Amino acid sequence: MSYCTLAVVGNFTYPSTSTSNPNPKVSISNSTQRRKEFVSLLKNCKDANQILPIHAKIIRTGHDQDPFILFELLRLSSTLSSVNYASTIFQLVHNPNVFLYTALIDGFVSAGSYSDGISLYFQMINRFIVPDKYVITAVLKACGSRFALREGKEVHCQASKLGLSSNRSITMKLMEFYGKCGEFDDARKVFDKMTERDVVASTIVINCFLDHGLVEQAIEVFDRVRVKDTVCWTAMIDGLVRNGEMNMALEMFREMQKGNMRPNEVTIVCVLSACSQLGALELGRWVHSYIGKHHRIELNHFVGGALISMYSRCGDIDEAERIFAMMKERNVITYNLMISGLAMHGKSIQAIEIFRGMIKQGLLPTSVTFVAILNACSHGGLVNLGLEMFHSMSRDYGIPPQIEHYGCIVDLLGRVGHLKEAYNFIQNMEIAPDHVMLGSLLSACKIHGNFELGEQVARILMNHGVVDSGTYVLLANVYASSGKWKEAAQIRAKMKEGGIQKEPGCSSIEVNNEIHEFLLGDLRHPQKEKIYNKLEELNQALKEAGHIPATDAVLHDIEDWEKEQALAIHSERLAICYGLISTKPGTTIRVVKNLRVCDDCHSMIKLIAKITGRKIVVRDRKRFHHFENGNCSCGDYW
């Protein structure tokens, strides 16, 4: 007999919820009073250990089969992360009713034991217990989280046969379930059958589409919602951020403001995340000022962490430090963000001080903490301290090193020129190196001119099997730098054969709250003539200052002047030129680039900062570069 057939039978009755009274000495009135006492005691429990003596007393007094007490006992055990204990209690119940099943299924779902929750539901069905709207809602959540499409459809069938499918809470869970399983047509059918398709229902459908990257379909539903609330706006903004549509997310936030809709804490964090990834500092500052004006949004771990991340990733590390100092309470995530931000900006000593402060506060570091602090040691060239930190992970905190931690040590050793030591470290690791780690060592070989070891690493990389376009380009550049043009050409040919295309360089700069993006040799900008005139002016000033373009890594089969031309139109140079013509003298120029800054651009930007008297901050794929007075914060190693 199928589950659907079982659910059709309409003559089921719930097992009696009257209190069993196995102990004849206990009067009914006394039993009722006892029940109230036990339920009250259970509701006041704050810790799982407090349940045990109360449960023991419940058994001793003969109330261990009272459904009201059992319901509270199961609910509480599940809530206090003791779902296994709750399961043990349930197994001893003589005649569990639908409410007790619901309590334990809810517990399984809350604990992430979705399969157990689904199995228990169908066990209930097999015992001829009629489901109600509460248990159906709980099991649909489990089916959606477990992507259990077949079981969820059976539950939908049962709900329909029992006349519950039109219930609002069940309808919501059905849409969510089908959406999570990627069954958008079914989710849409449930949505279309609703007599009242309000903003809550629309938000669920929007989230379904966004969870699967279907941005256009989500926008289509969003646009049809007549009266949008903060939750609906936030769901749309969050989904756009998760799908990498940062500009659209910020535009959506502006539309939200025009509609006089007040953002909540979650909205603010989503917008700050978009600002972080785009490098939109000015908009991030505006959001920060909004938080200050609206005191209902607190500077807690959630918001404070987002602000620290935003300021760090947008190039204003001083403001990030100020936010960190203002926070009354900090957790390990807050510390991780601050340490990571300082490391990215080359402030290694400050990062170590923050780490030590965290330990003094009694907070235990996590795996993420050690990635951040090892990065700080790497950027500061602090070899001995970095190695000590690495060894203390497992020795003092029981944290086994992961590939990221090993990579930090390789980067640290490579930075200071200990290339053989870095190579031997890789050879003796307990886990296999990845292409990121090998690429880091290869880059160090290029910087320190050890092309012999570089070739050795290059061969390992090629045999590794998993290399991205950036690694191929690095390999070709290493060969080109050592004058091995044939090998460089072979690498580029291999890229072409494999259909691997170099990721196009893209740089962005924020001016007057607008993000301007530039590609290599970009001619799309409305002020392109002024930008290229400024570029020509700078090139002339650079030549007079003695700058010689680093053309050694550019393709060898073109003339020198063509190589110089290819370098001169890199996206970050165009972004810097636009910043110079669009901002007041003395204004810091902040540029975000999606790739690693090339050697020639790096040396050129140092000179531009010196010639123009500007501070130029560039965020590339690996770190921040603070150019000022002809120097860079990275110490020319990145």
End-to-end Cα separation, the chain, in angstroms: 67
In this prediction, residue 627 carries a pLDDT of 95
Averaged pLDDT for residues 513-538: 93
In this prediction, residue 585 carries a pLDDT of 94
pLDDT in tens, 287-313: 999 888 876 778 899 999 999 999 999
* Beta bridge mates, 509: 516, 591
Residue 30: pLDDT over 80? no
| pLDDT cut 90: percent of the chain above it | 60
pLDDT in tens, 194-210: 877 789 999 999 999 99
In this prediction, residue 563 carries a pLDDT of 46
**How many Cα neighbours within 13 Å face the side chain of 211?**
18
Work out the number of other CB atoms within 10 angstroms of the CB of residue 545: 12
From 16-30, 59-73, 377-391, 575-589, the region with the lowest mean pLDDT: 16-30
As a three-state string, the secondary structure of 356-389 is HHHHHCCCCCCHHHHHHHHHHHHHHCCHHHHHHH
- Tokens found for residue 385: 């301290």
Token pair 């390990």 in the structure block, residue: 332
The domains located in the chain, with CATH, are 405-497 (1.25.40.10), 506-632 (no CATH)
The edge-to-edge listing of strands for the beta sheet with 624-628 is 514-519, 506-511, 589-593, 616-619, 624-628, 631-632
pLDDT in tens, 116-125: 999 999 999 9
The backbone torsions φ and ψ at residue 365, rounded to the nearest 5 degrees and listed phi first, read -70, 155
CA distance linking residue 202 with residue 169, whole number of Å: 14
From 57-71, 384-398, 536-550, 561-575, the region with the lowest mean pLDDT: 561-575
What CA–CA distances, in Å, run from 30 to 73, 184, 510?
20, 55, 74
pLDDT in tens, 203-252: 999 999 999 999 999 999 999 898 999 999 999 999 999 999 999 999 99
In this prediction, residue 24 carries a pLDDT of 46
CA distance linking residue 177 with residue 190, whole number of Å: 11
In this prediction, residue 35 carries a pLDDT of 84
CA distance linking residue 341 with residue 312, whole number of Å: 5
In this prediction, residue 551 carries a pLDDT of 57
Mean pLDDT over each residue of the chain, to the nearest integer: 87
Most trustworthy range by pLDDT among 74-88, 453-467, 623-637:
623-637
Spatial contact of 335 and 318, defined as CB atoms under 8 Å apart: no
- For residue 477, give the nearest of 461, 497, 492, 496 by alpha carbon: 492
pLDDT in tens, 110-156: 999 999 999 999 999 999 999 999 999 999 999 999 999 999 999 99
Residue 10: pLDDT over 70? no
Spatial contact of 311 and 319, defined as CB atoms under 8 Å apart: yes
Work out the number of other CB atoms within 10 angstroms of the CB of residue 36: 12
In this prediction, residue 284 carries a pLDDT of 94
Averaged pLDDT for residues 429-451: 89
Averaged pLDDT for residues 276-282: 92
Most trustworthy range by pLDDT among 180-194, 356-370, 431-445:
356-370
Q: Look up residue 608 and give its amino acid.
A: I
**Helices of type H across 93-146:** 98-110, 114-126, 133-146
Residue 451: pLDDT over 90? no
pTM for the full predicted model: 0.76
Residue 271: pLDDT over 50? yes
For residue 466, what pLDDT band results from cuts at 50, 70 and 90? low
Work out the angle between the directed axes of helices 83-91 and 67-79 (0-180°, nearest 10): 160
The backbone torsions φ and ψ at residue 392, rounded to the nearest 5 degrees and listed phi first, read -75, -20
Count of residues in the chain: 638
pLDDT in tens, 586-598: 999 999 999 888 8
Spatial contact of 120 and 105, defined as CB atoms under 8 Å apart: yes
Residue 28: pLDDT over 70? no
- The conformation of residue 131, written as its DSSP 8-state character, comes to P
For residue 502, what pLDDT band results from cuts at 50, 70 and 90? confident
pLDDT in tens, 558-608: 344 344 455 568 899 999 999 999 999 999 999 999 988 888 899 999 999
